[in-house]
């Protein structure tokens, strides 16, 4: 699961950091909403999702909230929202059990769905994934080296042509692989 954390003090605005989801990764995304200053409340929270890719088709998810039990609510992101790429807006609406009134303000948060072909370019820029990304690159280099030194040289030459960056020598790559292979 990949969670976007939202802290919503109902007397103020919601705090969140927008995150990235990959287009087509269904069933893994959720919003974790932590409600604050909510006392003796029974009702529901509704999340209405609207993608910039398809603004005429909103999706709604509603969850029950009972502040005597918990004030943390997990809202699954509908798979339909993850089909297209772009910015996805989500309105959070807190309603009392009698549905007669809205409690607090209506809050709007957002996240991004990245097109699958663009993921490889954005993934290295994501700070929380940095270590895993580096490990994946090292693992790939290790597999290439294990199979063929010529294949590693071809891979390094290809990277050099594509990105015009400094490429590791075979000895440097071996040192990195030895350091991380366990």
Considering the domain architecture, whether residues 96 and 169 belong to the same structural domain is answered as: no
Q: What is the pLDDT of residues 140-176, one digit of tens each?
A: 666 666 666 676 677 677 766 665 655 567 787 777 7
Considering the domain architecture, whether residues 111 and 136 belong to the same structural domain is answered as: no
**Boundary of a domain, candidates 120, 138, 160:** 120
Least confident of 72-86, 96-110, 111-125: 111-125
Nearest to 129 by CA among 6, 21, 23, 24: 21
Considering the domain architecture, whether residues 155 and 87 belong to the same structural domain is answered as: no
Q: How many domains does the chain have?
A: 2
Percent helix / strand / coil, the chain, rounded to 5: 35, 40, 30
Name the phi and psi angles at 83, rounded to 5.
-75, -40
Domain that holds residue 74: 2-120
Average pLDDT (107-121) is 77
Q: Which residues contact 163 (CB under 8 A, 6 or more apart)?
A: none
């Amino acid at each position: 699961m990949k969670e976007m954390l939202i802290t919503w003090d109902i007397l103020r605005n919601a705090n969140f950091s927008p995150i990235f989801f990959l287009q087509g990764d269904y069933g893994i995304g959720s919003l974790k909403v932590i409600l604050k200053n909510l006392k003796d409340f029974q009702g529901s929270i509704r999340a209405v999702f609207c993608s910039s890719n398809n603004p005429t088709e909103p999706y709604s998810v509603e969850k029950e909230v009972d502040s005597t039990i918990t004030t943390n609510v997990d809202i699954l992101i509908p798979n339909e929202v993850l089909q297209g790429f772009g910015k996805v807006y989500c309105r959070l609406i807190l309603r009392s059990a009698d549905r007669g009134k809205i409690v607090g303000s209506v809050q709007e948060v957002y996240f991004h769905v990245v097109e699958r072909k663009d993921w490889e370019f954005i993934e290295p820029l994501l700070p929380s994934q940095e270590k895993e990304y580096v490990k994946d690159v090292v693992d790939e280099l290790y597999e290439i080296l294990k199979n063929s030194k010529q294949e590693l040289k071809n891979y390094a030459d290809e990277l050099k042509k594509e990105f015009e960056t400094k490429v590791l020598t075979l000895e440097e790559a071996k040192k990195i692989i030895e350091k991380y292979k366990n």
